[in-house]
Structure 1
Amino acid sequence: MVKEAALILTLSAALTSAADTMTGIFNENFYTLRTDINGDYMAPPVLLLGSDDRLTVSFDELAESNSYLRYSLIHCNANWTESSLVESEFLDGFNFGNVDDYEYSRMTATHYVNYHITLPNDRFSFRISGNYLLRVYRDDDPETTLLQVRFMVSESTALVGADVLSVTDIDYNDSHQQVSVTVDATNAGVDDVFNDMMVYVSQNGRLDNEVMVRQPLRVSGKTAYYEHLRPLIFPAGNEYRRMETVSTTYPGMHIDALEYHDPFYHATVATDYPRSQESYSYDQTQNGRFFVREYNSNDSEIEADYVVTHFTLDAPELPGKYIFLDGDFTCRRFDPQSLMTYNRATGLYEKTLLLKQGAYNYQYLTVDAGAKTPGASTATIEGDYYPTGNEYLVKVYTRRRGERYDRLIGVTSVKFK
């Protein structure tokens, strides 16, 4: 057991090694970390520089009263390492603020405080584009990060287009999807469009299989065409699984049992099975997102309760592989909080998480035990099916000669239909 725990910690460190600048929660009292852009929870966390866009970060603390929390911002390079800029180079105003927008839960078995942070606000504005990391910490312990969130600020000076096809350079309507990207950098201040742009493409908000390409297949004037590039071929995966805990009086979608055992409600998710050998079945999902919802409430943010949620996967033990729960509710991290544990007594992989009432998308990803770099597989449990309705986020960065940071010059998203 000790050896297995050590291996898990080593794997977790390897897969979250961006000095850990990944979105995540690092304190056991904090839960339900979410972002929205102008009230849209489906939107990626990208603000338009100089616009009226607002990013809202929300989270809960399981407590009877509020804590004195503060936040600060870090500017990052395209690869999410911290940039060398000082605060005055990326912000106009103050790089700290009190988290003073909060409400107490009401009519819930579990007491919590719901916090909101809105960016930018009357304390500061963004001077430049790029990647940013929001840190939240206690007023009396600024060195200890309670939680952090990645977001981006885009200039939108480049015109970015994207397409996704199931006819790829390696198979035809089988198990992959291929993305092509066009970047018109005429107004983006890029000197050499063949060498000076970095194009990042991610699938369904996942970080483990995000790819970066530098050189396009061809260039015409100031327009670069990223076509027929092997890194832009993705395993197609499968539609996300869904479950709902929108009520504490009756079991919701894909819930076998709902009970109250003081002090928490408990929901038993119907046992899942591998789908890799089944035929593809269409389902309209939100590609890994989750939505807080209490069926009988007009204000689920503070009236949704917390539910101890029990997941089980009926699959044979896979020596040499780890199975992780993937979705926005796990912050897309491969760590002990998302790791499924095999129970030899029941013959099931199991995981129990405390989740806020709502509608959840999730899937099971496998990672080789010896993995040193991110890269999980859908093939083993979920299967790879070309019709899957994946979403791809495309981000384009550049750095002028003499500049000390990566500018985010364009962002777009595309969905396979």
Structure 2
Amino acid sequence: GYGFARSAFGPWGGFLTGTAILIEYAIAPAAIAVFIGAYCQSLFGIGGWMIYLAFYIVFIAIHIFGVGEALKLMFIITAVAAIALGVFLVAMVPHFSVANLLDIPVTEAAGASSFLPFGYVGVWTAIPYAIWFFLAVEGVPLAAEETKNPKRDLPRGLIGAMLVLLSFALLILVIGPGGAGANALLTSGNPLVEALAKAYGGSTWMGSFVNLVGLAGLIASFFSIIYAYSRQIFALSRAGYLPRKLSETNKSKAPVLALVIPGIIGFGLSLTGQGDLLILVAVFGATISYVLMMAAHITLRIRRPKMDRPYRTPGGIFTSGVALVLACIAVVAGFLVDPRVVIGAAIIYGVLIAYFAFYSRHHLVAGTPEEEFAAIQKAEEALH
């Protein structure tokens, strides 16, 4: 993402996009750790900081000692988690009722009704949590350097992932509350299990299965986003946007500091236990990066229409234009939910921008893929 924006807007565009993505990836595991704690509490009666710490230590250690085989294992776990979602949906369908979707008490908000209990603004404030369904799927291209045929495989992987997520998101969002009641799941930390318990009047083997495999799915997400943030920091550091120390690797070619430092920060944030607020911070970073990447796409299409494009976006500028508008709406939505949290994230973003303005933009590294691409671009413009 940052290399894409670097091509369109130069080093400033690259840095603003890269650090926005970094905020997203560094904070998302903290939110997931909170949810893992809720699932472990439900399954084993143990949750809280001990679970958060154990997961951070174990999975950062796996990344430090070699991530290749673990990625294959995570793929299998993700596939099993998808089966569990299928079991959940089949189990909830017999209990589905449209009335259950509309059982949240109507508030005093403008435009409030049984269909929109929190009014028009409620739709807007739900957007950050809707984005959470899809958060970090755009991290697929971070595997470009470890993919045999990125021109073919990355579009397939990314589009396939989005279609699977879209299908599950729609089905879970409708069938789950439709079977158990939307109000019953309003503040749930493990809504799939609680939905089954509500629908079937207590604990069942399905509930235990979905709980266990749901936990496995969260672990797979936790694992893969740790991978994503380490590779994002590695790329930014290698190019000189962040301190060079962060891109130093061990014998297994793992960037140790890029794994450990965000892990310590994430663990500290997970101690708040506020998974919903951590989602807001992660989504703030994500939506800022979406705005910048959509703008980069439009800019490159206009300024460099003949640039080699192994993959062309269907609909071109119209598609990215619509996405740009939606991303801007999503940025504002976070402020409506809890402005203090999003302002805090914006301050962190501002500190990173100041670091780039006063130091790192004067120390960018020549010879990295992004800088080489920029040099080629400059040479081509000079020829024209």
TM superposition score normalised by structure 2? 0.24
Give the number of the structure whose residues are more often strand, by fraction: 1
TM superposition score normalised by structure 1? 0.23
Give the number of the structure whose residues are more often helix, by fraction: 2
RCO higher in 1 or 2 (8 Å CA, sep ≥ 6)? Answer: 2
